[in-house]
Structure 1
């Protein structure tokens, strides 16, 4: 397919998403099934255009004065791809399989593209209803912080020290990937996204198959490191899911001590077993809940560290899932708050005196972070927040103070400040 034909296809997919109010993944899948002539590179390029348009949906519509899929695509090409109007006009030629030619009004809009006068929600590409929450978090930096969430995310790898001696050794084994060291995690390697939005097929690399590296955003790596788990400790990963942070904790503990990995949704635990084997992890028990029973009731009051990678709206991952921002509703936030309350209450019963709860979300909303912890502390005796400096010092990551945002109880990462997803980390210690 020509570049122009790919753009026409992206507009078709965006039209389907708008008309049927469906996830982008479903619309892209259906388009591929009905256009089997399109090769894998074509489908990847079309998906990249669709997701870029969703990243800049509000700002693109603003500069074009129109919310239609065609207008959003045009605005995206100007803002996200930084194409000049003449270059866009060549793609919108009206020739075979290309979109219809630009109108005079479209040309004028593209030529004078500016976000001057746009609302914060339009300029920052986010739903307007979360603006008050974002102001609580970012103050006057709302727009630049949210614009950073419209960029494509890199592919980050965590070097598994159970299998390889150093980050340098893993880096030297993968020279063809063009990886660089992550700026904050001492275990991270970063690969820039390709022009079509795709990264290399890491899962096919011999070093991945041998367990040398795992795919994990640098922010997630830092969240694990900030838990400051030590060899010999008893640890529960209470919302383990596919096991990304479980693997990181096991490497930090050098396979000494014990990690109990569990999740309320047993289906989410399915990938963890293969990953543990590949990574050479030997100190993890996977506790799969069955029949609604509590799989870790025997651990109450015995645990040094409870990692709560809490269910949340996932706003901090919008670089990777831009479709989610436009499907987020206030009701979703309330559901997540209730889930956070329940999981924190469960964590409290697990922690022994002197034990700690490490609370992590991939959200930037205070309601899911400081507010959830404030409510927990109000209803729960015997827990105190670890100071900001103590959190960093315990993990040996004092330099992060220069880039992290300090909140009431914890630390906030953002793409603008840390070049990571938007992770929040706080630590509570049980005093009695």
Structure 2
């Protein structure tokens, strides 16, 4: 397929997404099944165009004066790819499988339209209904943070210290030109630019469990838990096990981690991942009907981790379609789930233990406001300063990411070069001597 044909195919997929509210990955898969002549490189190129268009959907529609799929794709070629009008016109020749020729209005928009007078949510490429929440979280930097969330994310890897050092992993993956992550002491970063990322799951280092795919912010969230060898740890929302694996490595396979999730299907991948990583101190506690599979852990855990279900706003670099599918009702549902999880988790924290709350969101509703409400209702819990959190984890430089809105640490693409994450550590008061 030619580059012009890739653009036409991307417009088709965007049209499908406009008609059916569903994940982009599903639409791309269906397009591939219906067009089997397209090879893997063609499908990757089309997916890249679609995701770039979704990253820049608001600004692309603004400069083109239309939110039609073709307009968004043409605008994204300028806003995301940096193409000039003549380069875009060359792709729109109307010949063969190329898009139709540019209209006079399209050419005029591509040549002259500016975002200077656009609203913040357009310049930041986030949904208008979230504008007030972005302003509450970031103030005058809302547009900058939104634009950073609309950029492409690098590929981050966590080195599994149960099996190798960061230097050894760096050597094993030298052909991919990885760099050291600037904040995580156990991370590697691969810059994929606008190209296709490497097939990491086929790499020997991955197959042998030397590295795991994990954004640097998620690595830091696990490190801020400060899990120590010998502790009793409950990962209450373990899902596929990403943080469980990181905690097992921190604990050097000593002590015990209980991996639980309310949805047993989400836990399914954890077993193979634990075996590959060589993590031997993890007990998977899958739900079993009405049986309380965690009853024996009440008031026994040194550490309880809530990797809370959230809107995922902080991960928009990796899932740009999700921001346009997100609705206010989904936020309200997540807030309810988070409140319930905090209440549930507190019963497992022993006196002197700690509760760590993590989201991949940048919204105050899901972060500082949840923690403030919990602390107000639970006087036996306190929140240390961000500096104390960072010092306890051996990462004092993270103190500069202290939240300005309350306890905890905030990470974001614009400030830390990571996904958007929030991490709060809560201590349960110990027994009186």
TM norm structure 2: 0.97
Structure 1 residue 101: deviation in Å? Answer: 0.8
Whether the 8 Å contact between 2:159 and 2:186 is mirrored in structure 1 is yes
Provide the C-alpha distance between the structure 2 equivalents of 1:406 and 1:231, rounded to a whole number of angstroms.
Answer: 32
Match of 1:241 in 2: 239
What is the match of residue 184 of structure 2?
A: 185
What stretches of structure 1 move > 3 A for 4+ residues in a row?
A: 402-407
Aligned to 2:159: 159
Tell me how far apart the structure 2 counterparts of residues 281 and 22 of structure 1 sit (CA, whole Å): 36
Instruction: Pick closer, same or farther for the CA change 1:84–1:157 going to 2, 3 Å.
Output: same
Q: 1:112 maps to what in 2?
A: 112
Counterpart-to-counterpart distance in 1, 2:117 and 2:290: 53
**Does the 8 Å CA contact 2:386/2:402 hold for their aligned counterparts?**
no
What are structure 2's unaligned runs of at least 5 residues?
Answer: none
Query: 1:360 is matched with which residue?
Result: 358
State the partner residue of 2:257: 259
TM-score using structure 1 length: 0.98
- The structural deviation recorded for 1:376 is 1.4
Distance 1:303 1:93 in 2: 65
What's the counterpart of residue 90 of structure 1?
90
Partners of 1:118 and 1:162 in 2: how far apart? 50
User: Pairwise mapping of residues 140-151 of structure 1 onto structure 2 (< 5 A)?
Assistant: 140-151=140-151
**Are the counterparts in 1 of residues 387 and 398 from structure 2 also a CA contact under 8 Å?**
no
1:249-398 correspondence runs (5 A): 249-398=247-396
Cα distance, 1:386 vs. partner? 1.4
Distance 1:266 1:253 in 2: 25
More displaced 10-residue stretch of structure 1: 340-349 or 287-296? 287-296
Aligned alpha-carbon RMSD (Å) = 1.1
1:54 match: 54
Instruction: Indicate conservation of the 8 Å contact 1:237/1:262, yes or no.
Output: yes
Equivalent pair of 1:224/1:245 in contact (CA under 8 Å): yes
Give, in angstroms, the shift of residue 107 of structure 1: 1.4
In structure 2, C-alpha distance between the alignment counterparts of 1:406 and 1:304, rounded to whole Å = 28
Aligned partners of 1:158 and 1:213 also within 8 Å: yes
Partner of 2:321: helix, strand, or coil? Answer: helix
In 1, distance between residues paired with 2:416 and 2:47? 27
Provide the rounded CA distance (Å) in 2 between the counterparts of 1:33 and 1:2: 19
Does the CA contact (< 8 Å) of 2:402 and 2:408 recur in 1? no
When structure 1 is superposed on structure 2, of 360-369 and 25-34 the one drifting more is 25-34
Matched, 1:103 2:103: yes
1:403 shift after superposition: 4.8
| Aligned equivalents of 1:404, 1:298: Cα separation in 2 | 35
Name 2:41's counterpart in structure 1.
41
Q: What's the offset of the Cα at 1:22?
A: 2.9
Q: Give CA deviations for 1:100-151 in whole Å, capped at 9, x if unaligned.
A: 1111221121112421110111111111111111111100000000100111
Partner SS, residue 163 of structure 2: coil
Instruction: Summarize the Cα distance change of 1:373–1:405 in structure 2 as closer, same or farther, 3 Å threshold.
Output: closer
Aligned to 1:401: 399
Aligned to 2:171: 172
Counterpart residue number, 2:424: 426
Unaligned runs of 5+ in 1: none
Q: Is the 8 A contact 1:414 1:421 kept in 2?
A: yes
Q: Does 297-306 or 381-390 show the bigger shift?
A: 381-390
**Equivalent-residue separation in structure 2 for 1:336 and 1:315 (angstroms):** 12
Work out the CA distance in 2 between the residues paired with 1:411 and 1:307: 15
Cα distance in 2 for residues equivalent to 1:69 and 1:406: 39
Give the CA deviation at 1:21. Answer: 2.8
| Cα deviation digits, residues 10-57 of structure 1 (max 9, x gap) | 001111111223332222122111111111111111111111101100
